[in-house]
Amino acid sequence: MNLNYFRSRSFILSILIIIATVIISYAINSPYFTLTILIADIFIIMSIGWDFSSGTTNYINFGISFFFGIGALFTGFFFYSFNLSIPFLIIQAFFFGFISGFLITIATLRVRGVFFTLLSLLLPLIGTDFILAFWTVLKMPTIGYYGLPSLSNSLQVSLIYISLFLIIIIILIYTLYSTHIGLILRGIGDDEEAMLAQGINTFWYKVLIFSISMGIVGIAGSLYALSTTFAGIDTFGLEFLLFPMVIAIFGGKGKILGAVPAGYVIIILSQYLQLYVGQFTLILFAAFAIILFLLFPNGISRWFK
């Protein structure tokens, strides 16, 4: 394990930014701002999860909102069916995100490039149709679970919990990134054929990394459900694909920690824009994403160097 990663400026700066957002939110004492930071933290967790697998390997996964939905809906299902406590609800979200990620990547990694991406895009669509077909079997009160427990009665305490989760996930991912697994991952992204020529079985590394990533996205789904006390079919929505992906690209694809400042900038901007222009925010956001992908497909971080 290379400990230099933990001494890097980007790592220390990212942790400091997360702590700073909590302090600022206490200082401002505005519920809307606290909620904005909380949502930003959840999207950053998703972005980091996505970037860790897709950003580094260049296997672009459009199915991220499927795993987010799995995390959210399983949280609702296990709370309604077994009355599990919050820590177990979060653990099961990681477990089911990991297992579904494992099974799906084994099937879909047979294809590469655009076809892998297309297949992954079908996942959230399947998830939506599945819930619509079986919501009565899943014991949903309506098409979703209402009245889920909240992380805390105080929004600011919830923010502290979620910020802690974000820091723990960053440390875990950075730990993995600094081992030989991280090295192989970057190798797959640079030249997979060369990795195969060296006798490295890239398939199982990809399966492992995608499973862990999707487990993390599952945690983000669970935290979202516990923050909003609702887990509905909308968690499979393409917005939950668009925002994390744009945050990851904006922060620099494969940079992992670029998502931290990018996430705060994008979510704070979009939440406050929503106050003034309402639904038009989504149009601006999609247009911004198009410009970003066309002009800066590898992110903007290199432009600041």
Partner 1 sequence: MNFFSLFFPIIIYGLLFGLNYALISIGFTLVFGVSKILNLSYGALYMTTAYMIYFFAVMNNLPLIISILISIVITILIGLAIFYTILKFTVNPMIFMVTMLLFALLLQYIYSYLFGGQVGLIIPSLFPNVSIGLFGVSINLSLLASSLISLLLIFLVSFWIYKTSIGRRIRATAEDPEVSELLGINTKQIIIIVLSISILLVSIASILLVPTQEVTPTMWVDPFVIAFAVSIIGGLGKFEWAIPAAFIVSFAEVISQYLIPYNVSDIVAFIIVILFIVVFPNGLGGARIES
Interacting residues toward partner 1 by CB under 8 A: 58, 60, 62, 107-108, 110-115, 117-119, 121-122, 125-126, 129-130, 132-134, 137, 238, 242, 279-280, 282-283, 286-287, 289-290, 293-295, 297
**Judged by CB, which is closer to partner 1: 241, or 262?**
241
- Measure the CA–CA gap between 211 and 96, rounded to whole angstroms: 10
Q: How far is the CB of 240 from partner 1 (least distance, A)?
A: 12
Q: Residue 231: what are its φ and ψ, rounded to 5°?
A: -125, 110
> What single letter denotes the amino acid at residue 266?
I
Task: Compute the radius of gyration of the chain from its Cα atoms.
Answer: 19
The SS3 of residue 293 is helix
Long-range contacts from 31-35, C-beta under 8 angstroms, 24+ separation: 31/155, 32/271, 34/155, 34/156, 34/159, 35/155, 35/271
Q: How far is the CB of 55 from partner 1 (least distance, A)?
A: 12
H or E element at residue 54: none
Q: How far is the CB of 60 from partner 1 (least distance, A)?
A: 6
**Judged by CB, which is closer to partner 1: 269, or 282?**
282
Distance of CA 140 to the CA centre of its chain: 25
Q: How far is the CB of 123 from partner 1 (least distance, A)?
A: 9
**Judged by CB, which is closer to partner 1: 25, or 47?**
47
**Judged by CB, which is closer to partner 1: 101, or 219?**
101
Q: How far is the CB of 57 from partner 1 (least distance, A)?
A: 12
**Judged by CB, which is closer to partner 1: 161, or 285?**
285
Q: How far is the CB of 115 from partner 1 (least distance, A)?
A: 6
**Judged by CB, which is closer to partner 1: 16, or 287?**
287
**Judged by CB, which is closer to partner 1: 11, or 101?**
101
C-alpha angle 30/39/296, rounded to 5°? 120
**Judged by CB, which is closer to partner 1: 223, or 241?**
241
C-alpha angle 2/6/11, rounded to 5°? 135
Q: How far is the CB of 203 from partner 1 (least distance, A)?
A: 14
Q: How far is the CB of 5 from partner 1 (least distance, A)?
A: 28
Q: Which two tokens stand for residue 62?
A: 């459009």
Alpha-helix residue ranges (DSSP H) falling in the chain? 4-7, 9-28, 31-50, 56-57, 64-82, 86-108, 113-134, 155-177, 180-197, 202-228, 239-251, 259-277, 280-295
Distance of CA 124 to the CA centre of its chain: 14
